[in-house]
Structure 1
Amino acid sequence: PPFEATMSQPESLHDHLRWQVQMGEFDAVQTAIAVMLIEEITDDGYLAEDAVATVAEELGQSADAIDTVASALRELDPPGVASRDLRECLLTQAERAHADNPLLHAIISNHLKSVERRNYAAIAKELKVSLQEVGDAVKLIAHLEPRPGRQFAVKEPQYITPDIYVTKLGNDYQIVLNEDGLPKLKISNYYRDALQSSGSQAKSFIQEKLRSAVWLIRSIHMRQRTIYRVMESILKFQRDFFDKGVQHLRPLILKDVAEDVGMHESTISRVTSNKYVHTPQGIYELKFFFNSSIARVDGRESIASESVRDFIKQLIDGENPKAPVSDQQIVELLKKRDIDIARRTVAKYREMLRIPSSSKRKQVF
């Protein structure tokens, strides 16, 4: 058999559940229901919204019969699988791992919104328990799995091979294109010789194919030349970044590079798409170097939006987790650097960095 056929494939969530059903105490009808319900389970491990109605209609069974099997599926591994919502998912796990903790069950059943908002005092007051007891329960909730199917997700890391290498030589930089993945093309001597000895019809055919081959080779060389020129232009505009890092990134738009290299903006956009460069500062997509500008208060040269985002990230990385900086505080700290942006802009940049709000970052316990 081919090598691929001998390779083991990772077990999927659906495979894992079907195997447990086959090994379990399901009768023929329940097995048929279970197999169909499993097909209605999402990658995260949740039962699709209309799964019960869909399976009931297809198999001609009552909704109660389908619900009974769905409940049995929730007893399988991974804990919480086949749940209809987050509350049911967490409650199923809590009942299995912490059966003797009624406070935990009560919080999951009725106070998940307050947990999300970190309104622990309201929970303590409502359930007539101490804040410490609520805190202990919340810590247990944090260790439950909100996406029970996650462990079966196929993890295929994307390895980035740089298209360009920019290295520093003395006080200057050298640009080297990575041509490892490019085909090494040349015109075969066999067809060159055939042109001399073939009849007119065959000669015409060979000439046409040779023209196509020459065009392809020239196109590849032209594309590489274009990438080189665009990188050369980016290096010229963003020299401070290559020397000093992200905080020194300059505002740059496609039009700037297009005018510099004498090409259309659409060409620059196409050339920079999904192209990566290895620099002394790390590996970056070429599109990273294009940034909108943010004016400084004191009239100095504008700053790149990416630099502002990097500064926001640094502020949050260095904050006190028990007193995280708010968006408004970030606005004030940016003003001290002569950068004046609105609070909503800070919020937008923070969300782009996938950083939650200060209220959600705050550690209470």
Structure 2
Amino acid sequence: MALQQRLDLRQSQALVMTPQLQQAIKLLQLSNVELSEFVDRELEQNPLLERDDGERDRDPAASGVDREDPVPERVEVSTRDTVELAASDRIASDGDSPLDTDYDNIYTNSSAVDQDGGGEAFGTWSGRSGSFEDEDGTAADRLSDGLNLRDHLEEQITMDIPDRMDRMVAYALMDHLDEAGYFTGELPAIAEQLGCGEERVQGVLARMQRFDPSGIFARSLSECLAIQLRERDRLDPCMQALLQNLPLLAARNIPALLKVCQVDQEDLMDMVTEIKALNPKPALAFDHEPVQTVVPDILMRAAPSGGWIVELNTDTLPKVLVNQRYYSRIQGTAKSRTDKEYIAERFQSASWLVKSLHQRANTILKVATEIVRQQDAFFLHGLQFLKPLILRDIAEAIGMHESTVSRVTTNKFIATPRGVFELKYFFTSAIQGADGQAAHSAEAVRFRIKGLIDAEKADDILSDDKIVEILRSEGIDIARRTVAKYREAMKISSSVQRRREKALGL
């Protein structure tokens, strides 16, 4: 076959993403903190950008400044079938406790929501300092004072260990504390490093185990609890036997515990109550960074005439503008081609950033408004009314692509009468209703399972099969393995373990 050359002309379509378009897409998925950092970098690099000083009433023409277009700050959402229901006297009051949006801790940490949004609390454990106690005022006081654990221990070393060599050993032991306050080092290695006997290191460690906070420098959980019980003069042989068999306590194996401790069930329950009052992680009261409060991007409240008012939190929006006067001045003085090209590129970049920020704000507001409209029943009545929702539902309603909605809802939070939620929270999978009824949100089903287990009595523990029967009678078609999966995700033990817990009064 002969080879030949020829010239063809073809026409095709292709999507080319310009750097400006890539920047606009990137800005959509940034959180308010990341966006603020990005704008700060742009302000440093672009001399034509400046931060808005907040004087909105100043005439832009007089200052030679092209200000950012005003962002729509609120949208009133109402529907004909929910206007009356959305009246201010029907929504949750300010006194109602909000839902906890942390998926891992929503069912274990303290939160308060009942099925009707009335505020029945079911949280039980206070975890600020890792304590089993409900009262952690000491930890809170230390946290507010900013007390450092190392400084606290050094003060006690200075006062309680006068010998210079013993102090060197104490400082070496202190270097092997983990964040919970447990000693993780090896005594022979430390003794060899310091050139002293292992007995001396062991003696210093024993003295430091009497330091404050109680339980510090323990080498295991059982030793940590034993130190605290010894200080309370409650470390009797029965309690020692219980501490040596903590795995049995974790498994709620009551018959085995009664056998090894040689006590009756009432005494065993009293011993377990004492252990619950101890602090398993004594060092967490120190050097602890407070949890940063989430700053919402969108604010939502009830409208006086019914429905909801959705508005942007302007405090989280970077306010930047282009200095037109400075641009005109340096453009007229630029002589070389390179300078003119640089000035033009900086002006184009600054203008595009201002436009992108404005577009980002409008897109966030549009997506949040549609979510509020579709999840109206949730905001009125509570979690059990959360409807199944996917990205496509919102994208089709507002005329955008699913990927855009996904970027907008990432790391964006909305403050509602029921608490602060990430926008992603409102997207849940659907569980088919029984007999062809409407589908149910997976999150609402999990909430219902949690409510059933919380309400069970000690003599009537619900098995997974029983929960399936109850849910199907309520119109929720769910499999047993799905109930087990949801229960395990909520860190709820099996019916056998819960029966043992109820027997111990846990």
Q: TM-score range by the shorter chain?
A: 0.7 to 0.9
Aligned counterparts of 1:100 and 1:313: Cα–Cα separation in 2: 37
Q: Please report how far the alpha carbon of residue 303 of structure 1 lies from its aligned counterpart in structure 2 after TM superposition.
A: 0.9
Q: Is the 8 A contact 2:241 2:260 kept in 1?
A: no
1:250-271 CA distances to partner (integer Å, 9 max, x unpaired)?
Answer: 2122233334444443432222
Aligned counterparts of 2:465 and 2:168: Cα–Cα separation in 1: 57
Q: In the alignment, what sits opposite 1:5?
A: none
Alignment partner of 1:30 is 2:161: no
1:78-124 CA distances to partner (integer Å, 9 max, x unpaired)?
Answer: 12111111111111222221256332222213x22222233333333
1:202-257 CA distances to partner (integer Å, 9 max, x unpaired)?
Answer: 55443322212111101111111111221133234323323433212121222333
SS in 1 for 2:484: helix
Cα distance change of structure 1 residues 132 and 199 upon mapping to structure 2, 3 Å threshold: closer
Q: How does 1:1-365 map to 2 (within 5 A)?
A: 10-25=146-161, 27-48=163-184, 50-52=185-187, 55-56=190-191, 58-61=193-196, 63-99=198-234, 101-109=236-244, 111-169=245-303, 170-194=305-329, 197-201=332-336, 202-320=339-457, 323-358=460-495, 359-360=497-498, 361-365=501-505
Aligned counterparts of 1:191 and 1:271: Cα–Cα separation in 2: 34
Cα distance change of structure 1 residues 326 and 71 upon mapping to structure 2, 3 Å threshold: farther
The alignment's TM-score, normalised by the length of structure 1, stands at 0.86
Aligned counterparts of 1:43 and 1:96: Cα–Cα separation in 2: 23
Q: Is the 8 A contact 2:297 2:316 kept in 1?
A: no
Aligned counterparts of 1:342 and 1:59: Cα–Cα separation in 2: 62
Aligned length: 356
Further displaced range: 143-152 or 252-261 = 252-261
Pairwise CA RMSD of aligned residues?
Answer: 2.7
Further displaced range: 352-361 or 282-291 = 352-361
Cα distance change of structure 1 residues 130 and 146 upon mapping to structure 2, 3 Å threshold: same
SS in 2 for 1:186: strand
Aligned counterparts of 1:74 and 1:185: Cα–Cα separation in 2: 57
Cα distance change of structure 1 residues 62 and 255 upon mapping to structure 2, 3 Å threshold: farther
**Corresponding letter in the other structure for 2:408:** V
Identity, % of aligned pairs?
Answer: 38
1:162-200 CA distances to partner (integer Å, 9 max, x unpaired)?
Answer: 211233433443321111222322222431441563233
Q: Please report how far the alpha carbon of residue 135 of structure 1 lies from its aligned counterpart in structure 2 after TM superposition.
A: 2.2
Q: Is the 8 A contact 1:322 1:364 kept in 2?
A: no
Cα distance change of structure 1 residues 344 and 158 upon mapping to structure 2, 3 Å threshold: farther
Aligned counterparts of 2:403 and 2:361: Cα–Cα separation in 1: 17
Q: Please report how far the alpha carbon of residue 304 of structure 1 lies from its aligned counterpart in structure 2 after TM superposition.
A: 0.9
- Greater percentage in helix: 1
The alignment's TM-score, normalised by the length of structure 2, stands at 0.64
Q: Please report how far the alpha carbon of residue 307 of structure 1 lies from its aligned counterpart in structure 2 after TM superposition.
A: 0.7
Q: Is the 8 A contact 2:156 2:211 kept in 1?
A: yes
Further displaced range: 236-245 or 52-61 = 52-61
